[in-house]
Structure 1
Amino acid sequence: MQTNILGYPRIGSRRELKKACESFWAGNITEEELLKVGAAIRQQNWTLQKESGIDLVPSNDFSFYDQVLDTTLTVGAIPARYASLQNDRMALYFAMARGYQREGKDITAMEMTKWFDTNYHYIVPEFARSQNFFLFYNKALEEYREGKAQGIETKPVLLGPVSYLLSGKEKEAGFHRLELLERLLPVYIELLKELEEAGAVWVQLDEPFLVTDIDEKTKKAYTEAYDAIRKACPRLKLLIATYFEGLRENMPLAVQLPVDALHIDLVRAPSQLDDVLAQLPADKVLSLGVVDGRNIWKNNFDQSLEFINKAVPRMGTGRVMIAGSSSFLHVPYDLDLETDEEALTPEIKQWMAFARQKVEELALLKKLAEGDRSLLSKLDENRQAMENKRTSPLIHNKEVEERCAAVSDNDARRKSPFPVRKKLQQQELQLPSYPTTTIGSFPQTKEVRSWRAKFKKGELSAEEYDRLLKSETKKTIEWQERIGLDVLVHGEFERNDMVEYFGEQLDGFAFTRFGWVQSYGSRCVKPPVIYGDVSRPHPMTLYWANYAQSLTTKPVKGMLTGPVTILQWSFVRNDQERSKTCLQIALSIRDEVCDLEQAGIRVIQIDEPAIREGLPIRRNDWKSYLDWAVRSFCIASTGVEDKTQIHTHMCYSEFNDIIEHIALMDADVITIECSRSQMELLDAFVRFSYPNDIGPGVYDIHSPRVPTVDEIVDLLKEAARVIPQEQLWVNPDCGLKTRGWKETEESLIRMVKAARLMREQLA
C-alpha cells in the first residue's frame, strides 16, 4: 500500500511566501531572493512528507500565485496584451495576475474567480478561436529535477488538459473552448515526455471537472485526451485525481480512461466507493481520499480503516493508495505552532489536525491497515478524541437550539415590498442618481496593523489603541466627505478580517495564531473554527458605527458579514448539518442588525460574497442549498423597518445561473464584482429583470492599477444598457483593505467624477 498526497500548502509555515511576494512587488527584494524563498518552502515541504513516510510526494503543487495561472504560462496561452512583457517571465506572470501600470504601460489583469466551492481564487484562462499553444515554460520539469537533486523522488502534479480548458473562458463568440483540445494536447504530450525522459515515475493529472455535470462532448474530450496521452507516454504512470464530489454518472467514463490510477474523494462522497470497486478494471490502482483536505478536524481512524478494509480484500494492497481527499492547500500548515492555550484550548485542539498532522495521519493509517499492532495505542487515542468531541459540553447550547426551533417564515420577510421601501428610504437618505459608495474597508496600512499587534502584545493600552483608531476613522470619514461620496463607511480599521472579527465575538468559535490559508496570490486568511452552537453574547459593531455616524450628517453604513459567508469562510463543525449552523449565525447577525437600526444607523450592509461559492458541485443539489442559504440571509436582514436600507455585497460570484435566488434575498441594494469580466456578469440582467437596486463594480481592487474616468464611464454606460438608471449605484468591486492609500484616493476620486458625469447626462 502506498500513501499519496495530492498537494501541500505553499505559503510557508509563517506565510514566508506572502511576505516575499509583497516585498518583491514593492521593489524591496530581487527576483533571485524571491526565488530562493520559493525553493526553501518546496524543500521544507518535500522533506517533511518524505520523512513522515509518504510514498508519492507531490511537486509542481507550489506556485508563486496560482496553479491555473502556472498552467496558462506553461502552455503559452498568454493574452496578446502582455506581448511586450514576454521577455521577462516573472514580470509577465505577475502582470497576468495583478495587472501592470508602469514604464508607460497600462495592462489590465486577467479575470479571477473561485476554484469550485472553495474560497481559493484562480486566474481564469482566456481563449480565442485562433488560440495557439506552445511549451513556454516547463515548470513541472524544473521542480521535479529540483526535488531529485535533493534526493527526493516526487510525483509532478498537473492540471489536466480538459479541466484546464473548462476552467477558462472564450473571449470571443462562435466557438467552444474544448475545440482547442486538439491544439493543446501536443503541448501536454511534449511536457509529459520531458518528465518521462527525466525519470519521473508517477504524474498526477487533476481532473476535478469529472465530478461535475458534463455533457457528451466533454466526455468525448476526456476519452480523446487520455487516449492520445497514453499512446505518446506509455511508460509514465498516470494518476487522474478527482475531488470535491463523487463521480456519479461519470463513473463509467472515469474508470475506463487509459491511466494507471484513479483518485476519489471519500470525504465528500463516501458512497461512491462501492460503485468504484465494482467497476474499476483489474489493472488500475485506486487512491482512497480518506483524510479531509478541506477541514481541520482530526481523522476518524475507524471510519477510514473501514473504507480501506473494504477496498483491500477486493483489490489487494498493491492496488490501494491511502490519500488526502484533495490537496492540503485548503488547510493550515502545522497545528504544533498553536501554543497559545487561551486562544485555542487543549480540549478543542485535541480534535484538530492541520496539513502536517494530516501527513502523519496518512502514515499512521497505512501502518494500522497493514496490521502494525504496536500502534494500537494510537488507535485508542484517536477513539478517545472522537468520543471527547461527541460528548463535550462545550458543543451544545440548549437556548440556541430552542431559538432555532422557534424560527418562522415571518422571520424571513421584510414588512413591505421593495417599491414601498425604496420611496421611504429615498425620503430618509435623499441620495442623488448614481449614488456612490465603497464596499466597506479602507487601506489597512502597516501602521494600522502595527497598532493592532502592539495592542495584542500589551504594548498599547486599550485607551491608546482606541484613540489611534478613532483618529484614522475620523480622517477617513472627512476624506470621503471631501471627495463627495454619498454613502460613507467607517473604514474597518479595528477589524483583522471580515469573518475572524465577528467570530472572535461569537460563542461557539475558536481561533488560531498561525492557521493561515491562501485565498489568492499573497492574500491569506485565517478562518475561525466553529466547534459548537453559535450565539452573540454582546453587540459587535455598535461602538464604531455610532462613532463614525457621529462625525457626519451623511449616512454611514453599518458593516456586517453575512451568515453564509461566515459559515463558508470558517472551518465548520462536522457533527451537524451546515444549514443548522448557518441558521444559528443568522440569528446572531439579526440581533446585531436590530441593534444598529435602534442606534440610528440608516444603511446596513450584510456582505455575502460566498453565496455562489457555497453552491454544491452538482446542479441537482442546488435547490436544497439555495433554500437554506437565502433563508439564512433573510432571517439575518429582515428584522428592520422599511426605511432602513439593507445592502449586500458579492465579489467574484458568477451568479448568472442563480440570479432568481439572489433576488429572493430581497436586499435593497446589491453590489457585485464586474470590472475584471468587463461587465460580463450583467448578462444575467438581460434575461432577468432584477427588481432592486444594484451597484456593478466599476474598478478592480485586486489590482494596483488605477482606472481612468473614461473607463468607469464606459462601464456605467454598459450597465445602464441592461439595468434601469434609477436602479444603478457606483462602487468599486470589493473592499479596499489590501490596497495602498495613494491608488485608493486616485481611483475613488475618478469614480466620483464618473458618477457626476453620468448624472449630468440625465439632467
Structure 2
Amino acid sequence: MVQSSVLGFPRIGGQRELKKITESYWSGKVTVDALLAKGKELRKHNWELQKQAGVDVIASNDFSFYDQVLDLSLLFNVIPDRYLKFDLAPIDILFAMGRGLQRKATDTTAAVDVTALEMVKWFDSNYHYVRPTLSNSTDFKLNESAGLKPVAEYLEAKELGIETRPVIVGPISYLYLGKADKDSLDLEPLSLLEKLVPVYKTLLAKLKEAGAKSVQIDEPILVLDLPESVQAKFQATYEALVDASSPEIILASYFGDVRPNLSAIKSLPVAGFHFDFARVPEQFEEVASILNDKQIFSVGVVDGRNIWKNDFAKSSEIISKAIAKVGADRVLVATSSSLLHTPVDLKSESKLNPTIKDWFSFATQKLDEVVVLTKSAKGDDVTKELEANAASIKSRKESSITTNPKVQSKLAEIDESMATRKSPFEQRLTVQQAKYNLPLFPTTTIGSFPQTKDIRVNRNKFNKGEITAEQYDEFIKKEIAEVVKFQEDIGLDVLVHGEPERNDMVQYFGEKLDGFEFTQNGWVQSYGSRYVRPPIVVGDVSRTVAMSVKESVYAQSLTSKPMKGMLTGPVTCLRWSFPRDDISQKLQALQLSLALREEVVDLEQAGITVIQVDEPALREGLPLRAGKERSDYLDWAAQSFRVSTSGVDDSTQIHSHFCYSDLDPNHIKALDADVVSIEFSKKDDPNYIQEFSNYPNHIGLGLFDIHSPRIPSKDEFVKRISEILKVYPANKFWVNPDCGLKTRGWTEVKASLTNMVDAAKHFREQY
C-alpha cells in the first residue's frame, strides 16, 4: 500500500542545541566527545519523532555538524592540500574547510592558519553549502579515518530499532556544484566523474552490507538548465552504480521543474524517482510517463520550503493521480524536499495569534501532514483531520488580515518615474564627489558590528520588561558611540552605526512593518552555526513608523564623516522571510519597496545622505531556469530596488551589498546603485574579477571572510588589492569586508579592520 516518506529533518534541535554545542566546541569549552554525543542525541530524537508520527520511510545521513556537501568532501577525500599539512582531527578538518582556522602554537600543537573554502547558496534557498574544491591531483577514496558517516548513522538508527533510508548527494550534482582549485583552473570538475563513481559504488556496497534496503541519491541539478554533455552523464553513471552489490536507489530531485532534463533520466536502472510537486505540480504527467512498470513514484506534495499548512484537497488529487498511474504499492507520499528549510516545531510558539497560527505547519507538523495524506490515500478514516484542514485553508483565504486596501491603492500608482533616479550616474558622481570629498580607495564596512553578549542580554531584558525603553535607548546610544569612535580611531572613511539595536537584518524591519508575523523559536539553519528566524509575510505590507532614522541621526551627530543609513532591500526582506503563497512575489516585493522608499526619503530629510540598501538575496531569488520567468524576475526585482531608492536627490549616495552567491554584473547594474559591495574574499578565479571590470559605477570587492575567525595581515590585504587593481580601475574601487561583522568577536574585528585600513593607505601613497 501507499507509504509515507520524509526526505530529511532539521538537524538543529528545537532549542538550537546544535548551534550551542558546536560554538562551545569551537571556543574550547567542551570536548569533541561532548560534541559527538550531542549529535547522536539529536539524531536519536529526530528518528524517534518521525517513527512515532507514523512515517514509513525515514531519512538518515541528513544530519551534519556543518553542511551535507562538505561532509561528502571529507568522506571522499576531496580535501585541498592546505588542510592536510596540519595534524588536525577529521572533525577539525571539516570545520577548517567550512570556516577557516587560525591558531597559535602551543606546547602540544603547531600553529595553524588556513582560509575557508568558498560558500555559496544552495540553489534558490537561503541555505548555503561549502563548494567542493577539486584539482588535477584530487585522490578520490573513502576517507576511513573520518568514519563512514552514511554507514555509521544508518547503523546507529538500526540499533534503535529504526530502519532508515540513507541520503547522499549524487556524484553528478556533487561535481557539477564544485569548482576547480586555483592551481587547476583549466579543470572541468565533471571530467573527474569516472574517478569518483567507483568510490560511490564502494560506499553503496558498504551500505548494503550494513543492511540498507534502499538509498536516496539526490541529483538536485536536474532542475537546472543542463548542457547535453551533462545530461549524457546520467545513463552511464547510474548503470555503473546499480548492480547486485548496491541497495535500491531512489533518485531524488527538488526545488523545480525536471522536464527539460527528462531524457537524461527516463531509462535509468533505478528503483524509483522523487519529484517536487509542491513547487511544480504541472510537471506531473510528463515526469510520471518515464516510470517503468516497477519503479517507485515518490510524490513530493508537502512543501519542505515554506510554513503554510498543506491543502489536503489539492495534495490528495496529485496522490490519487499517482496511484491511478502506477498503483498504490508503488507510491510514496513525501515532503517535496528535506525539511531542513523549515522551523522545527509549531507547538513551542505560544505567542502567535491563534487565528494565524492555525495557518502554519512547521517540520514536526509536516510529519503529521504526510502521514494523514498517506492514510487518506489508503482509505483510512481521517475525516476529522481532513475537515479541520479544510477549515484552516478556508479561514486564511477569507481573512481580512491578508488584505489592506490602502496598500493596493499605492501599488496601482507605481510607474517608471518612481523607479528612476533624477540624473544618470555620471552626473550624480560629480555632485557626490564634491559633497563627500572621499580619498582614493575609500574604506567602509558593510553595516553590522559584533553583537556582543552584553547587547543580547540588554535586548532580552528590554523584551521581558526588565528595563525601561529609556534605559534600553541609553544602552544602544552607548554602543553606537563606541562603534563610531572605533571607526574614527582607525581611520575608516564612511562610517556605520553598528546596528546594535537589530536582532536580524530582516526581522528588525519586519517588526516595524504591518503585514508580518514573528515566531519565538522558528529557527532555520543558514550555514554552519548561523541560524535565522525568518519573519512570515501574512498580509499586505506597509510602513507605519520610521524604522532606522533615530539611530542613524544619533550616530551622525557624533562624527563629521559620512554616516551610512542601513536598510535591507525589498527582495531580501521577502526572500529571507517565509513569503505568502497566495499572491505573487512580485507584488510582495513592490509592497516592501514602497515602505522602504518612505524610509529612504525620511533618512535623507534627516541628514543621512549615504544610504545602503542591501540586496544579498537578489541572486538567490533568480528562477533556476532561463526563460520568461527569469527575465520577468530580473525586471521586477530591479524595479523594486529602484522604487525603494529613487526618491532622493543626486547628492544622496545609494549603496547596496551582495554576498555568497554567483553574481552577474548585469543584474547588479540594473539596480543603478552608486556604490556596490560584493563578497569576494574566497573567490580565487581571476576571471571573476574580469566579469566586473566593466561595471560602470563604483564597487568594493570584499577583502576578508567574515565567517572565519582568522585575521588577515596587512600584507595579505595588499596582495589581494594588487590582484584586483590589475583589472579594476583604482578610482572606482572601495575597500571593505565581505559582509557584516555581526557574528565576529571584537578582537578579530579590530585587528582585521585596522590591517584593511592600513592597506588602503598603502595604495593611496602609491597612487
**What TM-score, normalized by structure 2, do the two folds share?**
0.97
Q: How many residues align?
A: 754
Counting only pairs closer than 5 Å after superposition, residues 59-208 of structure 1 correspond to structure 2 as 59-85=60-86, 88-102=89-103, 103=105, 104-136=111-143, 137-171=147-181, 172-208=184-220
Counting only pairs closer than 5 Å after superposition, residues 310-349 of structure 1 correspond to structure 2 as 310-340=321-351, 344-349=352-357
Offset at residue 680 of structure 1 (A): 4.8
Distance 1:681 1:350, change over 3 A: farther
- Residue 700 of structure 1 aligns to which amino acid in structure 2? D
Stretch of structure 1 that moved more, 481-490 or 172-181: 172-181
2:380 aligned partner: 372
- Tell me whether 1:452 sits opposite 2:452 in the alignment: no
- Tell me whether 1:217 sits opposite 2:229 in the alignment: yes
1:413 aligned partner: 420
1:681 and 1:644 map into 2 onto residues whose CA distance is 33
Q: Conserved in 2, the CA contact under 8 Å of 1:679 and 1:715?
A: no
Identify which of 744, 751, 754 aligns with 1:749. Answer: 754
- Secondary structure of the residue aligned to 2:496 is coil
Counting only pairs closer than 5 Å after superposition, residues 484-563 of structure 1 correspond to structure 2 as 484-563=491-570
1:90 and 1:64 map into 2 onto residues whose CA distance is 9
- Residue 153 of structure 2 aligns to which amino acid in structure 1? E
Counting only pairs closer than 5 Å after superposition, residues 257-296 of structure 1 correspond to structure 2 as 257-296=268-307
2:11 and 2:309 map into 1 onto residues whose CA distance is 21
Offset at residue 255 of structure 1 (A): 2.9
Give percent identity, aligned residues only: 51
1:55 aligned partner: 56
- Secondary structure of the residue aligned to 1:36 is helix
Offset at residue 277 of structure 1 (A): 2.3
- Residue 626 of structure 1 aligns to which amino acid in structure 2? L
Offset at residue 283 of structure 1 (A): 1.4
- RMSD over aligned Cα atoms: 1.1
- Over 4 Å off, 4+ runs: none
Offset at residue 222 of structure 1 (A): 1.4
Q: Conserved in 1, the CA contact under 8 Å of 2:613 and 2:655?
A: yes
Deviations 1:614-669 (A, max 9, x none): 111112232111011011001001110000000000011211xx321211100000
Offset at residue 257 of structure 1 (A): 1.3
2:55 and 2:377 map into 1 onto residues whose CA distance is 15
1:97 and 1:680 map into 2 onto residues whose CA distance is 22
Offset at residue 173 of structure 1 (A): 2.6
Stretch of structure 1 that moved more, 78-87 or 456-465: 78-87
- Residue 692 of structure 1 aligns to which amino acid in structure 2? N
2:577 aligned partner: 570
Identify which of 609, 613, 635 aligns with 2:643. Answer: 635
Offset at residue 708 of structure 1 (A): 1.1
1:84 and 1:682 map into 2 onto residues whose CA distance is 28
Offset at residue 713 of structure 1 (A): 1.1
Deviations 1:245-273 (A, max 9, x none): 01112123223211101000001110111
- Residue 382 of structure 1 aligns to which amino acid in structure 2? N
- Secondary structure of the residue aligned to 2:249 is strand
- Secondary structure of the residue aligned to 1:432 is coil
Counting only pairs closer than 5 Å after superposition, residues 378-417 of structure 1 correspond to structure 2 as 378-417=385-424
- Secondary structure of the residue aligned to 2:168 is strand
Q: Conserved in 2, the CA contact under 8 Å of 1:678 and 1:715?
A: no
1:552 and 1:679 map into 2 onto residues whose CA distance is 39
Offset at residue 682 of structure 1 (A): 3.6
Offset at residue 681 of structure 1 (A): 7.1
Identify which of 220, 235, 250 aligns with 1:239. Answer: 250
- Secondary structure of the residue aligned to 1:239 is strand
Offset at residue 538 of structure 1 (A): 0.9
Offset at residue 461 of structure 1 (A): 1.4
Deviations 1:705-754 (A, max 9, x none): 10011111121122212221110000000000000000000000000000
- Secondary structure of the residue aligned to 1:46 is helix
2:634 aligned partner: 626
Offset at residue 279 of structure 1 (A): 2.6
1:438 aligned partner: 445
Offset at residue 175 of structure 1 (A): 2.7
1:256 aligned partner: 267
Q: Conserved in 1, the CA contact under 8 Å of 2:689 and 2:724?
A: no
- Secondary structure of the residue aligned to 2:400 is coil
Offset at residue 447 of structure 1 (A): 1.1
- Secondary structure of the residue aligned to 2:138 is coil
**What TM-score, normalized by structure 1, do the two folds share?**
0.98
- Tell me whether 1:700 sits opposite 2:711 in the alignment: no
- Residue 674 of structure 1 aligns to which amino acid in structure 2? F
Q: Conserved in 1, the CA contact under 8 Å of 2:128 and 2:526?
A: yes
> Which 5+ residue runs of structure 1 have no aligned equivalent?
none
Q: Conserved in 1, the CA contact under 8 Å of 2:235 and 2:265?
A: no
Identify which of 623, 627, 630 aligns with 1:616. Answer: 623
- Secondary structure of the residue aligned to 1:572 is coil
2:344 and 2:463 map into 1 onto residues whose CA distance is 23
- Residue 89 of structure 2 aligns to which amino acid in structure 1? D
Stretch of structure 1 that moved more, 90-99 or 640-649: 90-99
1:679 and 1:598 map into 2 onto residues whose CA distance is 43
Offset at residue 683 of structure 1 (A): 3.5
- Residue 37 of structure 1 aligns to which amino acid in structure 2? K
2:667 aligned partner: 661
- Residue 283 of structure 1 aligns to which amino acid in structure 2? K
1:106 and 1:96 map into 2 onto residues whose CA distance is 12
- Secondary structure of the residue aligned to 2:153 is helix
- Tell me whether 1:350 sits opposite 2:361 in the alignment: no
Identify which of 556, 567, 588 aligns with 1:581. Answer: 588
- Secondary structure of the residue aligned to 2:266 is helix
- Residue 283 of structure 2 aligns to which amino acid in structure 1? Q
- Tell me whether 1:738 sits opposite 2:743 in the alignment: yes
2:673 and 2:685 map into 1 onto residues whose CA distance is 21
Identify which of 710, 724, 729 aligns with 1:724. Answer: 729
Deviations 1:533-554 (A, max 9, x none): 0000111001101110111111
2:185 and 2:613 map into 1 onto residues whose CA distance is 36
Distance 1:531 1:681, change over 3 A: farther
- Secondary structure of the residue aligned to 2:13 is coil
Deviations 1:199-235 (A, max 9, x none): 001111010011111112212221121110003635x
2:288 and 2:614 map into 1 onto residues whose CA distance is 44
- Secondary structure of the residue aligned to 2:333 is strand
Q: Conserved in 2, the CA contact under 8 Å of 1:17 and 1:37?
A: yes
Offset at residue 467 of structure 1 (A): 1.1
- Residue 164 of structure 1 aligns to which amino acid in structure 2? Y
Identify which of 307, 318, 323 aligns with 1:307. Answer: 318
- Secondary structure of the residue aligned to 2:257 is coil
